[in-house]
Amino acid sequence: MSYFGTYSKLINTLVSDFETKHSPQIYEIELGEPEVNPLDTLVTSEKIWNDGRDLVKMNEFYALSLVGPQGSGKSSIARQVCEFAKNNDFRIIYAMPEDYMNDVNAWLELVTEKMRAKTLIVLDDLSYSTDTQNRKNQALLKNMISRVRHIFKGEIFMIYITHRLHATPPMLRNSASWIFTNMQSADRDDALEIIGRNKILRERLESIFSFISRVSLESAKDRNIKYTFRDNEYNFKWGDKLDSGDGRLMAIYHGGTLKIFHSQNIDVSINFEDYRYIPIPKIVNNGT
């Protein structure tokens, strides 16, 4: 039996979208017809978009946070969500810290002109804006987010991208959904901070952490992973920088519970530089 055959029962639980009943040895859950591939039940960027779009319609605001080290797929996921947003008539606005930290008012004035009734804003590299700046500038970032929500009276879908949870201001930690792109020990600690003291979620996190860690290790040896589910064998090609394969598996906190996110290879036309608005510095006349 393949390595993945030994934990096919575990993936049964980890791919579920609802609470499960478990015994000391196995998890029991019904996923549908026997031929259903468990990967088809994982959370994807399209599901994130669909759920977020519904919440935006209801609350006029939704936030998704992407947490993980450089090169772990955060920007790729953000571009996929932006592609869905663009196809649904959302205005895309992308910003790096240097675009707004020097002159928040100028940036707000510029992007407010670009906003539509429906807008998706991506704030990238928030770790830089909080790790290397003083408390005054951290307060400016917090103030900027508040002003975006109050100045613009429309549907706003926000995406925050950061390396670590502790690097983001507390105000930005109220996202509805969190994707941890590289489930290492530090990421597990961040996830624990998000879910709090909920015992069920903590146990579920440990299972997901163990599962993804084992899968990641196995994929480093052989990217073509095989696993069994209900007597059927499936193949999964773990993606890397040279070949995206079938994607990667990540941890996600979404819909009030922890699940597995399937980062897929999706063709997108989004180039963030095309949606980046940088204020032109004002020339100061000093009388000379």
| Sequence spans of domains, the chain | 3-25+35-275
What is the pLDDT confidence band of residue 159, given thresholds at 50, 70 and 90? very high
> What was the pLDDT predicted at 40?
59
Whole-angstrom distance, CA of residue 213 vs CA of residue 207: 10
What's the token pair of residue 221? 């040896």
Question: Among 56-65, 137-146, 158-167, which is the least confidently predicted range?
Answer: 137-146
The per-residue pLDDT for range 236-278, each reduced to its tens digit, is: 788 877 778 888 888 999 988 888 898 888 888 899 999 998 8
Q: pLDDT value at position 71?
A: 81
Per mean pLDDT, which range of 167-176, 223-232, 257-266 is the poorest?
Answer: 223-232
Q: Provide the residue type at 148 as one letter.
A: V
**Backbone phi, psi, residue 82, to 5°:** -65, -35
| Percent of residues, the chain, with pLDDT higher than 70 | 74
The model carries a pTM of: 0.80
The secondary structure of residue 73, as a DSSP letter, is S
Which amino acid does the sequence have at 165? L
DSSP annotation of 43: B
Q: Residue 14's Cα: distance from chain center in Å?
A: 18
Paired sense of beta strands 177-180 and 224-229, if any: unpaired
Q: Does position 53 have pLDDT exceeding 80, yes or no?
A: yes
123 close to 95: Cβ distance less than 8 angstroms: yes
Q: What pLDDT digit, counting tens, does each position of 94-119 carry? A: 999 888 887 888 888 888 887 778 99
pLDDT digits (tens, 9 = 90+) for 13-40: 544 433 343 333 333 333 344 445 556 5
Six token digits for residue 120:
């998706």
Instruction: Give the pLDDT band of residue 146 (cuts 50, 70, 90).
Output: confident
Torsion, Cα of 178, 182, 188, 189 (10° steps): -80
The CATH number of 3-25+35-275 is 3.40.50.300
- What is the overall mean pLDDT for the chain? 77
**Model pLDDT for residues 79-91, shown as the tens digit of each residue:** 999 999 999 999 9
Q: Which of 138, 158, 133 is nearest to 148 (CA)?
A: 158
CB 245 within 8 A of CB 265: yes
Give the separation between CA 85 and CA 89, rounded to whole angstroms: 7
